[in-house]
């Protein structure tokens, strides 16, 4: 009996912000399911190269080319987002099938709205909201050429938690959640789905930055499981949405937080 092909074999996926954190874990998970990956970073090339190297050590699925490539791109710059897709199509000689937008920023000072600088507000919306818009816009046009696909945008459970100190961040993610619901309707007839995955607190560098151990313990205690989430709690859902089984899930915001909010 012939071995069954991995569920994402032959499909090309771009994961933005995949040099570390949740994005890194998602990229590796999709690769383990057969996808060919574009590892995206903004500044830390060495981290991105390590992720690509780990994926390229996986057994070959189809063809003799690389399993993963690295492309630098700031998701808030239109020309660089275009280069992200150009790089994928050129390297893999295929249209992109899956976009996972994981790139994001959070002000580690956790300022109140009254104390949030205009510069920090603009940066938050530039990366989190404009970046999601530009990536979705490019994907909505590029994925059509492949006869359908998946757009998965990472947002945050903070759009429901509404904790003090997260005003700009939560607002930037809430805008993305509104946008994806409309995008899913606009993509009618293309076979492309568009959804948001909204993690709760996840143990990554971005989560720990600026927090004392006491604050981390308090956040963990607020969860019914008594712990902070791990990347392993998020990636299976993204993998499911990226595959054929996720076809009937569209225009949804799916919290992954263990009941945190």
* Residues marked as catalytic: 169
DSSP string across 67-135: SEEEEE--TTSHHHHHHHHHHHHHHHTS---EEEE------TT---GGG--HHHHHHHHIIIIIHHHHH
The count of residues in the chain is: 261
Spatial distance between the Cα atoms of 149 and 12, rounded to a whole number of angstroms = 10
DSSP E strand stretches across 189-248: 192-199
What is the radius of gyration, based on Cα positions, of the chain? 18
Three-state SS for 24? helix
Spatial distance between the Cα atoms of 194 and 172, rounded to a whole number of angstroms = 18
CA distances from residue 77 to 42, 69, 82, 133, 186 in whole angstroms, order as listed: 11, 20, 9, 11, 23
Spatial distance between the Cα atoms of 44 and 22, rounded to a whole number of angstroms = 15
């Amino acid at each position: 009996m012939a071995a069954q092909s991995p569920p994402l074999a032959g499909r090309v996926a771009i994961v933005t912000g995949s040099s570390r954190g949740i994005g890194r874990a998602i990229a590796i998970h999709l690769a383990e399911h057969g996808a060919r990956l574009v590892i995206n970073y903004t500044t830390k090339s060495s981290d991105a190269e390590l992720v690509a190297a780990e994926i390229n050590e996986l057994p070959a699925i189809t063809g003799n080319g690389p399993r993963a490539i690295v492309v630098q791109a700031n998701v808030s710059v239109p020309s660089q987002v275009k280069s992200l897709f150009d790089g994928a199509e050129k390297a893999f000689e295929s249209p992109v099938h899956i976009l996972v937008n994981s790139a994001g920023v959070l002000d580690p000072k956790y300022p109140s709205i009254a104390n949030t600088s205009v510069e920090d507000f603009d940066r938050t919306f530039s990366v989190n909201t404009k970046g999601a818009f530009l990536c979705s816009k490019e994907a909505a046009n590029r994925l059509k050429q492949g006869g359908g696909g998946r757009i998965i945008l990472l947002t945050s459970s903070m759009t429901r938690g509404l904790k003090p100190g997260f005003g700009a961040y939560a607002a930037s993610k809430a805008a993305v959640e509104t946008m994806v619901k409309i995008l899913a309707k606009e993509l009618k007839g293309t076979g492309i789905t568009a959804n948001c995955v909204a993690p709760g607190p996840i143990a990554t560098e971005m989560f720990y930055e600026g927090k004392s151990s006491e604050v981390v313990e308090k956040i963990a205690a607020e969860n019914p499981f008594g712990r902070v989430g791990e990347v392993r709690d998020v990636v299976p859902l993204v993998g499911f949405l990226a595959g054929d089984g996720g076809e009937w899930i569209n225009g949804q915001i799916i919290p992954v937080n263990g009941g945190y909010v």
